[in-house]
Amino acid sequence: MPGVMELLPREQELHRDLMRRIQEGFARFGFVPIETPAIELSEILLTKTGGETERQVYFVQSAGQLEKGSDPELALRFDLTVPLARYVAEHEHDLVFPFRRYQIQRVYRGERAQRGRFREFYQCDIDIIDRDELSVRHDAEIAATAASVLHDIEIGAFTIRINHRQLLRGLLEQAGVADVSSQSDLIRHIDKLDKIGPQKVASFLIDGGMSPAAAETLLRHTATRTTSHDEGLAVLGDLADGPAGGGAESLMEVFRVLADLGVPEDRYCLDLSVARGLDYYTGTVYETVLDDHPELGSISGGGRYDDLAGQYTNTHLPGVGISIGLTRLFFQLRDAGLLPYERAVLDAVVTLMDDDGLSYALEVASLLRAGGLRVETHMEPGKIGKQLRNADRAGIRYALIDGGQERTDHTITVRDLVEGTQDTVPLEKALAKIDKG
């Protein structure tokens, strides 16, 4: 079915390896795992405002509900952030704050199936949530975690582009747009700058009541993208006086903590065009691009949301987080030839040439499995050439062959299907002949 992820085993193994690297990176920074149900109450999911959420939610109905014509009470999760807000509000008395979670699960959107757009896909999220107040230093910690993880998955040079929603609102106020609702509408248009270009965005700004001169000034600001840590601080310092001051001062602290966390300055920048189209973002916002492949668009994004969990509890639970769209990233990297590693589906296959060799083949397989290898054993005899060809097609590098003499000598022939070489070794040394990488 179009728009869903269904991989062949070799690609599935690559996808799983990418997921494992991301998960291990999140855990290194002290994030703990949770899972939430795929199905949530519709009223919970639809508290997320902005964008096209309501038109993309998949509703869930039983046959009985369909017969009664009732409105759907349940829906498939659209992302992992809204379920997290519900989760924290529901379990707040059992959690230790600040609560630091990672979550890697499938989400569902009613997208029109096309390249880079999926109806079902994996997201990899980290968030930090606290009671009452959440230090802006955690905004830097989120970006530092993302930088470390993206470095670990070896995808090449990247830049985390950072901005602040208050800073954008301050610039809009300077441009004569004081109404908060109007600012939100215009921020959604600014968020489309990379997709539709400055001329179309300028038209939207002017149609929204901004003068042509003010629109030009605003777009000149949004073209700002710094190239060093010190330049970022300097630009923010210039913006600190005036309506944009609160956001500028917050980002200055984020930049300082990023440097203290050891994030290389070429991994992040101030980019005043980053907006994130969803209204629940209230502070720092992030988007990440591959430096050598900007055509791939954003590979991760997120930001601070001070009010989202207030939909479910009277406790003020501000949070900040970032998400890596794993499925989209995987296909982007695969199609661009950027996956830097390949992991075989299995490590080895033990062939079987005749029924008399079955007992010895199973002994060989057991020995290799005890050493940590993933091993397939042929349970029915067959032509050795066909067995080797099938192993090669399946991406299995090593084949272990007993031609009859091996079991007599308690040895085994280890054939490297990639190099085309083979060697007969004592059975107890077979494990050492196989490269587990």
pLDDT in tens, 11-44: 888 899 999 999 999 999 999 999 999 999 888 8
CB-count burial class (<10 Å; 0-12, 13-18, 19+) for 408: exposed
Instruction: With a cut of 50, say whether residue 92 has pLDDT above it.
Output: yes
Q: What pLDDT does residue 261 have? A: 97
Q: What pLDDT does residue 47 have? A: 65
Q: What pLDDT does residue 263 have? A: 97
Question: For the stretch 115-147, what's the b/e string if a residue is b when 16 or more beta carbons lie within 10 angstroms of its beta carbon?
Answer: eeebbbbbbbbbbbbbeeebebebbbbbbbbbb
Give Cα 359 to chain centroid, integer Å: 46
Which carries the bigger pLDDT value, residue 211 or residue 237?
A: 237
Q: Which two tokens stand for residue 296?
A: 């791939």
What pTM did the predictor assign? 0.86
Q: Indicate the helix (H) or strand (E) that contains 405.
A: helix 405-409
Mean confidence (pLDDT) of the chain: 89
Q: What pLDDT does residue 174 have? A: 84
Instruction: With a cut of 60, say whether residue 48 has pLDDT above it.
Output: no
What mean pLDDT do residues 81-91 have?
91
Q: What pLDDT does residue 340 have? A: 66
Q: What pLDDT does residue 159 have? A: 97
Which carries the bigger pLDDT value, residue 65 or residue 218?
A: 218
Q: What pLDDT does residue 185 have? A: 83
Question: 54-63, 96-105, 189-198, 419-428: which has the minimum mean pLDDT?
Answer: 54-63
Question: 145-159, 186-200, 244-258, 402-416: which has the minimum mean pLDDT?
Answer: 186-200
Tens of pLDDT, residues 364-419: 999 999 999 999 999 999 999 999 999 998 889 999 999 999 999 999 999 999 99
Q: What pLDDT does residue 437 have? A: 46
- Of all residues in the chain, the percent with pLDDT exceeding 90 is 56
What mean pLDDT do residues 332-348 have?
79
Q: Which two tokens stand for residue 389?
A: 């060809």
- Of all residues in the chain, the percent with pLDDT exceeding 70 is 93
Please, what are the domains in the chain? 348-433 (3.40.50.800)
Instruction: With a cut of 60, say whether residue 51 has pLDDT above it.
Output: no
Cα–Cα dist 292/296, whole Å: 10
Edge-to-edge order in the sheet of strand 39-41: 39-41, 74-76, 59-60
Q: What pLDDT does residue 114 have? A: 63
Give Cα 402 to chain centroid, integer Å: 45
Q: How confident is the model at residue 127 (pLDDT cuts 50, 70, 90)?
A: very high
Instruction: With a cut of 70, say whether residue 115 has pLDDT above it.
Output: no
